[in-house]
Structure 1
Amino acid sequence: MQLIYFVIFTSSILTMTPVLGETSSIIYIGSLLILLIKVNAKYNFIYKRITMLILLLLLCLFSISFINHPSTYGIVNILKLLLLITIPFSLWGKALNQEKQMIDIYKAAWVSVIIISIASLISIFTNQILFSNTNGLGSFAAISIIISLLFNNIISSRALYFMNTSNLIISGFLLITSSSRTSFIVVIVAIIIYLFSTIWKKRYSLRISMLRLFVSFILIFVGLFYFEKAIHLINEKIVSKFVRKSQENDLLDQRTSFWDTALQDINLWGNGDLYFITNFGTSSHNSFIHLLISYGWLIFVLLSLLMIYSLIKIFLTPNNKKIFIILPLIHFTLGSLTENILYGLSMTLSILLLPIMLSKDGDNFEKYKSN
Structure 2
Amino acid sequence: MTDPHTTPAAPGSPVPASRPSSVPAPVIELTDVEKVFDIRKRAGLLRREKQQVRAVDGISFTVPRGEMVGYIGPNGAGKSTTIKMLTGILTPSGGRVRVAGIDPARERTVLARRIGVVFGQRTTLWWDLPLRDSYRLVHRMYRIPDRRFRENLDRCVDLLDLGRLMDVPVRQLSLGQRMRGDIAAALLHDPEVLYLDEPTIGLDVVSKAKVREFLRELNAERSVTILLTTHDLTDIEQLCRRVMVIDHGKLMYDGPLAGLHEAGESERILVVDLARELPPLETGLARTVRVEGPRQWLAFPADRSAAPLVAELAAAYPVVDLSVREPDIEAVIARMYADRPGGRSRV
Range of TM-score over shorter length: under 0.3
Q: Name the TM-score, length of structure 1 as normaliser.
A: 0.23
TM-score (norm 2): 0.24
With a CA cutoff of 8 Å and minimum separation of 6, indicate the structure with the bigger relative contact order.
1
Larger Rg: 2
- Which has the larger share of strand? 2
Structure with a larger share of its residues in helix: 1
